[in-house]
Structure 1
Amino acid sequence: MSKHDTPIDTHPADVHRRRLLQRAAAGLTGAALGGALGPLGPFASVAAHAQSASNRLRIGYQKYGNFVVLKARGTLEKRLASQGVTVQWLEFPAGPQLLEGLNAGAVDVGTVGETPPIFAQAGGVDFVYIGSEPSAPQGEAIVVPHDSPIRSVAQLRGKKVALNKGSNVHFLLVQALQKAGLAYTDIQPVYLTPADARAAFVRGSVDAWVIWDPYLATIERQGNARTLAYGDGLVRNTQYYVAARKFAAAQPQVLHTLLKEVNGIDGWAHDNIPEVAALLSPLVGLDTATLEVALKRTGYGVQPITDATLAYQQQIADTFSALKLIPGKLTVADARWKTG
């Protein structure tokens, strides 16, 4: 969530963790461009300590979504206790940073959008896709200030567009520009985290913002934004479950248990959106009405990784490779989970 929307943690451990994540985020951006992630950096001591704990599942999550609901309900801990496994939750500001944590050995499994895994794989992160959620194309969009003279994507030529580099909305922007007859080089991309992008958007430092829920629902409901294009007809906006390859090979049963529990939470959430909104509200610092808007645009239910899934991801990889935003060609199927 944006720092404008959530309470600020003041506990020393929380402050220290936030600083580590911020440093890791900076490391990922440079590494993705260079073709390989750098050393473990701030995660080194965490990784070294955690590698000896084979009876622990470390889950990377973002401050919104089904993992937050799963964490709040505590059902996974009960299920895994019978396998002698404890659960540790690690919060990340976005998918790219979460995958950096996985690369550093500090995370075993996490959930991210469709584009972060492409940048991560290109950067040498050794992970596998273990499942996905149904597509949710209305959960992300390109927005402009409500009083902006820009009325179409085509009018973004020469304009400053804010986005989180390597996030799911990066592919949405590329696709929307192409449909409007523009090249990526026709705009001025401004790479910012959601919190910084929101600040820039509000003060008018950028002309447009490409963003996902619940940030999207927040800016829409506050009346500060007008939507130029949702993901419909452009992208799927799929959420993926990813795991460190070594962990997936060593602990497949733990992952199967996790996915089964997530699927159960998804089924409950789909049928109880007001209750989910009420559960999430104090955790993410947003009102229930805003959360209900975002939750109604979310996909529910864990799905297996299929050939069609990988083909779609390959399309994203080829797109970014052609734009030279990732180094060289990428074979997405190399990150497929082989469960035996």
Structure 2
Amino acid sequence: MPSPFLPRQLFTAVLLAGAAFTAQAANLTIGYQTGTDPSKVPQAAGEYEKATGQSIDWRRFNAGPEVVAALASGDVQIGNLGSSPLAAATSRKVPLVAFIVSAQINASEALVVRNGSGISKPEDLKGKTIATPFVSTSHYSLLGALKHWGLTTQDVKVVNLNPTEIAAAWKRGDIDGAFVWSPALGEIKKTGTTLTDAAEVGRWGSPTFEVWVARKDYAEQHPEVIAQFAGVTLKAYADYAAHKSEWTADSPQVKAIAKLTGSNAADVPELLAGSAYPDAAAQKSAALLGGGTAKDIAATAAFLKEQKKLDAVLPDYSPYVSAQYIQ
């Protein structure tokens, strides 16, 4: 299984170049993923550009570790990733700061098994092939589920595939199941059965969440851009919370999300409901950016170390989280 860390030579180069790297607000590059959430609506409408006054290059990534590599190299200044790749990156001291919890993952990530695979209960997973993107929140949830069920990766063949590869492997019949997010999740559900999801695994002691992070040097040089970015995001969350019933498959909001993520518009309302999107008060609370998020990162890192996915953990993850950008 590949290491969740960046290659040592790349990481060293990033550190050596740190003093010379100057993030320019006029050249803002943002890394995003295909997860379904309300912030995709202002992204599609150009609202982030209007609020920040910047020309933004939006780059799509398949999974969090790819976003981390782009952030570490300086190619991307702001990125969206899950708690598992965040824990792996900060444990390696990649210079990031999480400034908003973008989603508390519930049913929007799930373990789906193929109809006809012979899997109807956890013990049926023995000897089966289950795919997930390694070092992602789905991978973390899968490991947490296996541990809860008394299974290990010696019992179940876990393979590393990104969401696009999972959808293709599913169609070919190469895998028996997958723990993944949308749009792949929506596709495999059509001919599969959900065995568990991130919400249930969270109740078993392995919660997952997503964050927006920025390079520390960029955030220090352009705090107003980070604050404006957070403001647009939270406005989208508030609009969704107030008008959730109106975000139907035929609504402009859902159509925009479907187009941007590649999801089926009919699946988007259910996928949106599969996560919680904290408002500004919740973001600044002790449960999240006020302290809880740092503790959750530490717990995630500890679990990954226990699973031999990390070599070491930090004594304190609070330097990698900040509530200062939430207005």
TM-score normalized by structure 1? Answer: 0.80
Whole-angstrom CA distance in 1 between matches of 2:34 and 2:142: 23
Whole-angstrom CA distance in 2 between matches of 1:86 and 1:200: 37
Whole-angstrom CA distance in 2 between matches of 1:138 and 1:62: 17
- Match runs of 1:109-148 below 5 Å: 109-148=78-117
- Match runs of 1:288-303 below 5 Å: 288-302=265-279, 303=283
TM-score normalized by structure 2? Answer: 0.83
Whole-angstrom CA distance in 2 between matches of 1:31 and 1:246: 26
Q: Is 1:179 aligned to residue 148 of structure 2?
A: yes
Q: Secondary structure of 1:294's match?
A: helix
Aligned to 1:231: 198
Q: Is 1:76 aligned to residue 48 of structure 2?
A: yes
- Match runs of 1:234-245 below 5 Å: 234-235=201-202, 236-245=207-216
Whole-angstrom CA distance in 2 between matches of 1:52 and 1:241: 17
Q: In the comparison of the two structures, how many residue pairs are matched?
A: 303
Aligned to 1:260: 231
Q: Is the 8 A contact 1:317 1:332 kept in 2?
A: no
Whole-angstrom CA distance in 2 between matches of 1:136 and 1:30: 25
Shift in alpha-carbon separation, 1:234–1:157, aligned structure 2, 3 A: same
Amino acid at match of 1:74: G
Q: 1:242-278 CA deviation, whole Å, 9 max, x = no partner? A: 1101111222221111101110012223424222212
Whole-angstrom CA distance in 2 between matches of 1:232 and 1:292: 17
Shift in alpha-carbon separation, 1:136–1:339, aligned structure 2, 3 A: closer
Shift in alpha-carbon separation, 1:339–1:321, aligned structure 2, 3 A: same
1:201 to partner: Cα distance: 2.4
- Match runs of 1:206-217 below 5 Å: 206-217=175-186
Q: Is 1:287 aligned to residue 271 of structure 2?
A: no
Shift in alpha-carbon separation, 1:53–1:232, aligned structure 2, 3 A: closer
1:176 to partner: Cα distance: 0.7
Match of 1:315 among 282, 299, 307: 299
Q: Is 1:162 aligned to residue 131 of structure 2?
A: yes
Q: 1:158-181 CA deviation, whole Å, 9 max, x = no partner? A: 322111001111111111111111
Whole-angstrom CA distance in 1 between matches of 2:258 and 2:180: 20
Aligned to 2:171: 202
Aligned to 1:16: none
Tell me the percent identity: 24
More helix by share: 1
Aligned to 1:324: 308
Q: Is the 8 A contact 2:247 2:269 kept in 1?
A: yes
Shift in alpha-carbon separation, 1:200–1:259, aligned structure 2, 3 A: same
1:204 to partner: Cα distance: 2.4
1:287 to partner: Cα distance: 2.9
1:157 to partner: Cα distance: 2.4
Deviates more, 1:304-313 or 1:174-183: 304-313
Q: 1:110-169 CA deviation, whole Å, 9 max, x = no partner? A: 221221112222344211111103523111111111112111223222322111001111
Shift in alpha-carbon separation, 1:169–1:40, aligned structure 2, 3 A: same
Gaps in structure 1 of 5+ consecutive residues: 1-28
Root mean square deviation, CA, Å: 2.8
Shift in alpha-carbon separation, 1:36–1:158, aligned structure 2, 3 A: farther
Q: Secondary structure of 2:322's match?
A: coil
Gaps in structure 2 of 5+ consecutive residues: none
Amino acid at match of 1:296: A
Q: 1:27-80 CA deviation, whole Å, 9 max, x = no partner? A: xx9563577362699x9xxx9xx9463434322112343443222122222222
Shift in alpha-carbon separation, 1:37–1:67, aligned structure 2, 3 A: farther
Q: Is the 8 A contact 1:213 1:294 kept in 2?
A: yes
- Structure with higher RCO (Cα < 8 A, 6+ apart): 2
Q: Secondary structure of 1:135's match?
A: strand
Q: Is the 8 A contact 1:129 1:241 kept in 2?
A: yes
Shift in alpha-carbon separation, 1:283–1:240, aligned structure 2, 3 A: closer
Shift in alpha-carbon separation, 1:204–1:165, aligned structure 2, 3 A: same
Aligned to 2:247: 273
Whole-angstrom CA distance in 1 between matches of 2:23 and 2:117: 54
